[in-house]
Amino acid sequence: MSNRRDFIKKTALGTIGISTILGCKEIAKNETIGAEINENTHTKPIIISTWNHGLPANEETWKQLKNGKPALDAIEAGMKIPEADPNIRSVGYGGYPDREGKVTLDACIMDHESNCGSVSFLQGIKHPISVAKRVLQNTPHVMLSGQGALQFALSEGFVEENLLTAEAEKDWKKWLEESKYKPVINIENHDTISMLMLDKDGNLCGGCTTSGAAWKMHGRVGDSPIIGAGLFLDNEVGAAAATGLGEAVIRTAGSAMVVELMRQGKSPFEACKEITERIYDKHKNHKDMEYLQVGFIALNKNGEHAGYSLRSGFNYAICDEAQGNRMEDAQFKMTWDD
Ligand code: SD4
């Protein structure tokens, strides 16, 4: 637990004075934990992404948009940044493997016409978000899984490669010494990346990509590739995405419910908070589940956005013309000590 406390402290300090440049203006951010709800942004386009690795992802997506690329291509390009980064242990190449030592990836993408593409339990392909986009564009299906997803990727020209880096393998071998099934979430602040975007025409789209919970059982699929759980949007209403313990998000159809609450008139903040609290209520044993963490981000048709998490430490990156690319600490229900 002390690790988590240190991490939370570090996160708070890390965000003080963060300054980022994004082809527009430089910003210095001074708010930290419990920052004001930022629901007054009315600019388009706007991109929001989970965690610190959302910053470079947003930056790339923004660049693509400015170069006139279609929204889905821009989302894909942004998400490929953390997927390719060997230092991010929870996404793509360099992600932690399952308990058998296999890196298995989940990803999905969705556009404003509710077209969806998704891959789950995909091995050996560095950019699952790109395969998910091809599923959307080139198949009559929404989701391909495992060997079939790999076969499809290869038929589309993707190249199979080893995604287990020496560092991730070392950590896995260390874990094997005790071999406890304890998904490690939110400790080092580099988790699943989910991205939501409202483009200049006022259309929504989103994506999500992850290597999932570390040391998961072989074959386990989380919420991230599941439309309605890890990601959902309705172009009439808004978009939502999740990070954290996938099982908890699937149980509550998390992202779909956040969007549905926005349809009923709730703000992004109110919707994220209500579903997070629903998850809390459904896990009465949360004290025995010290790894239980979920976080949601949401963006509505007006460009209003919010993030909210069950436990402290969740943050998300926001990028728009007015304020550039910056981090916001999400409000939360409880700390890791509660
Ligand atoms: C999963 N939701 O596989 C993913 C992991 C994650 O923050 O988001 N971690 O359950």
The CA–CA distances, whole Å, from 66 to 74, 195, 319 equal 9, 17, 13
Residue nearest to atom 6 of ligand 1 (CA): 244
Binding site residue list: 220-223, 243-246
Q: Which domain holds residue 133?
A: 2-334
CATH of the domain at 79: 3.60.20.30
Q: Per-residue pLDDT averaged across 263-276, rounded?
A: 98
In this predicted model, which residue has the larger pLDDT, 43 or 38? 43
Q: Does the beta carbon of 209 lie inside 6 Å of ligand 1?
A: no
Residue 173: partners with Cβ closer than 8 Å, 6 or more residues away: none
- The residues near 58 (Cβ < 8 Å, ≥ 6 apart) are 22, 47, 48, 49, 78, 195, 317, 318, 319, 325
Catalytic residue numbers, as ranges:
192
Contact 181, 214 (CB under 8 A): no
Instruction: Report the atom number in ligand 1 closest to the C-alpha of 293.
Output: 7
Q: How far apart are CA 28 and CA 328, in angstroms?
A: 12
The length of the chain in residues reads 338
| Ligand 1 pocket check for 211: Cβ under 6 Å | no
* pTM of the complete model: 0.87
Query: Rg of the chain over CA atoms, in angstroms?
Result: 18
- Alpha helix ranges (H) inside the chain: 2-15, 54-66, 71-84, 128-138, 146-155, 166-178, 246-251, 254-263, 268-282
Cβ atoms of residues 90 and 190 within 8 Å = yes
The pLDDT of residue 184: 57
Domain count, the chain: 1
Best of 50, 88, 90, 185 for a ligand 1 pocket test (most atoms within 8 Å of beta carbon): 185
Q: Is 320 in the pocket of ligand 1 (CB under 6 A)?
A: no
Q: What is the rounded distance in angstroms from the CA atom of residue 128 to the CA atom of residue 76?
A: 10
Q: Which atom of ligand 1 is nearest to the CA of 230?
A: 2
d(CA 97, CA 326) in angstroms, rounded, equals 30
Closest atom, ligand 1, to C-alpha of 246: 10
CA distance 121 to 236: 31
**Cβ contact 69:199 at 8 Å:** no
pLDDT of residue 287: 64
**Structure tokens of 37?**
């709800």
State yes or no: pLDDT of 144 exceeds 70: yes
Q: Say whether pLDDT at 314 is over 70.
A: yes
In a 3-state reduction of DSSP, which class is residue 314?
A: coil
Q: Is 183 in the pocket of ligand 1 (CB under 6 A)?
A: no
pLDDT tens digits for range 83-139: 999 998 889 988 999 999 999 999 999 999 999 999 999 999 999 999 999 999 999
The CB density around residue 21, as the number of other CB atoms within 10 Å, is 11
Alpha carbon distances (Å) from 241 to 42, 209, 254, 307: 20, 11, 8, 10
DSSP secondary-structure letter at 37? Answer: P
- What value does the mean pLDDT of the chain take? 86
Confidence check: pLDDT of 82 > 60: yes
Q: How many CA atoms lie within 13 A of 136 on its CB side?
A: 26
pLDDT at 157 over 90: yes
Identify the band that residue 176 occupies on the pLDDT scale cut at 50, 70 and 90. Answer: confident
